[in-house]
Chain A
Amino acid sequence: MATEAHGAEDKGLELVFHPMDQFIVKPLFGDGGVGTFTITNVTLWMAITVLAIVALLVLGTSGRNTVPSRIQSIAELAYGFIRKMVEDVAGKDALPYFPYIMTLFIFIVFSNFLGLLPGAFTTTSHIAVTAVMAMAVFLAVTILGFVKNGFGFLSVFWISSAPLPLRPILALIEVISYFVRPVSHSIRLAGNMMAGHAVIKVFAAFAPMVLIGWIGVLVTPLSIIAITAIYALEVLVAFIQAYVFTILTCVYLKDALHPHH
């Protein structure tokens, strides 16, 4: 929001819309380009994510109390939530993969919520980030399916409960949907994160209208109310998208472990 105010001063108080500026990846130090190993705002916010996770799951549980402290309760809640999800959705034999799924969930949920801080950079709003995670899940699940079931894994495409003439058509659809999985898996998360933050930014650009003209007396309160409402929605979305990403991972894992419908 400071960005808009400053921009408005520069250009003689006119409305400035840069809703996508918040997603720009830029170096933290200096003005150079963004190389592979450059320390950028991505690095900063991922580091903050790691620190927050360590604070919750390591420092928060350092007491190892039988009667948990508040932070330890939250850590235990997160642990139990994901563990139960893995067990319920993918089955008991999926529990060895629980640490990987927990890693994904805790990273996404912390990135989403940290991205909601004013001025923060939302790492999960970038398709590059979510696509890597979705492709990792896709490849891991596919390889695991073949390793565990051999070519029997292909029966995941062969719907034995359907009438025989329909099966080849269904198999084609299943194969296409299987390969679309990583796309929908990644775009769903990045799109949700990006859209919400961009909408908040658009409303934020309307907020200084009161400095420009009398119409602002109406527009400014409305835009502030809208920011508040969308922000509340985004808090919900931040959790739900992390949940959806994780539970879909569990569903894909279930297909790999039990391909027979």
Chain B
Amino acid sequence: MATETHEATGHGAAEAADVGMPQLDFTTYGNQIFWLVVTLVVIFFVLSRIALPRIAAVLAERQGTITNDLAAAEDLKVKAVEAEDAYNKALADARVEAQNIVNATKAEIKGQIDDAIAKADADISAKAAEGEKKIAEIRAGALESVKVVAKDTAKEIVAAMGGKADAKSVTAAITARMKG
């Protein structure tokens, strides 16, 4: 910078400084315009041949990727809903089936229980009837025995009291008493 200042104040550019505004030093216009045109042409070709198509491609590709991703997400969402529906359906089916199995098993068990109860009832009533019959036999046996014992005892008592008992009247009396 320092040396440049010396140059500026010393040599060619001094005229420009004297003018006041270097912008109005027309001797430099050709130079500036030449280099400006070169610069703009270079920039234009860099932009139109390389930079702008590349950026446009990147932006388009990004847009495509985003669109594809959104579509894929939509697909996956639909699939998820389908999967959920299938799950719910399977769950409902399983519930119904389980209910059916429960009902069937219940009915089967009930049938078995009913059978068993009926059989048991039949057994019980058979045994009760048999028992009653036996009781009746035993009761009849006991009455007969009581009649015999009563006759014998009555004969003995009559004999012991000095009476003479004929068997026929004693038996008749006993029979009459037992009925009473």
A112 → chain B closest CB, angstroms? 14
Stretch from B53-61, B103-111, B129-137, B142-150 that touches the partner? B53-61
Q: Does A149 contact B (CB under 8 A)?
A: no
C-alpha gap A106/B48 in the complex (Å): 13
On whether the beta carbons of A126 and B32 are closer than 8 Å, the reply is: yes
A87 → chain B closest CB, angstroms? 13
On whether the beta carbons of A32 and B12 are closer than 8 Å, the reply is: yes
On whether the beta carbons of B44 and A36 are closer than 8 Å, the reply is: no
Q: Name the A residues within 8 Å of B21 (CB-CB).
A: 20, 23
B89 → chain A closest CB, angstroms? 40
Interface residues in A29-48 (C-beta closer than 8 Å to B) = 31-38, 40, 42-43, 46-47
Interface residues in B1-32 (C-beta closer than 8 Å to A) = 1-2, 4-5, 7-8, 11-13, 16-17, 20-25, 27-32
On whether the beta carbons of B8 and A125 are closer than 8 Å, the reply is: no
A172 → chain B closest CB, angstroms? 31
Stretch from B33-41, B161-169, B170-178 that touches the partner? B33-41
Q: Does B99 contact A (CB under 8 A)?
A: no
Tell which of B1, B22, B27 touches A20, judged by Cβ atoms closer than 8 Å: B22
Q: Does B46 contact A (CB under 8 A)?
A: yes
Number of chain B residues whose Cβ lies closer than 8 Å to a Cβ of chain A: 49
Q: Does B119 contact A (CB under 8 A)?
A: no
Q: Is the interface of B mostly helix, strand, loop or mixed?
A: helix
On whether the beta carbons of A64 and B54 are closer than 8 Å, the reply is: yes
C-alpha gap A185/B55 in the complex (Å): 29
Interface residues in A1-38 (C-beta closer than 8 Å to B) = 2-3, 6-7, 18, 20-21, 23-27, 31-38
Q: Name the A residues within 8 Å of B24 (CB-CB).
A: 127
On whether the beta carbons of B52 and A102 are closer than 8 Å, the reply is: yes
Q: Name the B residues within 8 Å of A23 (CB-CB).
A: 21-23
Q: Name the A residues within 8 Å of B153 (CB-CB).
A: none
C-alpha gap A34/B52 in the complex (Å): 35
On whether the beta carbons of A38 and B54 are closer than 8 Å, the reply is: no
CB-based closest 6 A-B pairs: A57-B51, A25-B28, A36-B30, A46-B39, A23-B22, A2-B1
21 A-B pairs whose Cβ atoms sit less than 8 Å apart in the complex: A36-B34, A40-B31, A42-B28, A43-B35, A46-B36, A47-B39, A53-B46, A53-B47, A58-B51, A61-B55, A64-B57, A68-B58, A75-B51, A79-B52, A79-B59, A99-B47, A107-B39, A123-B36, A128-B29, A129-B36, A133-B40
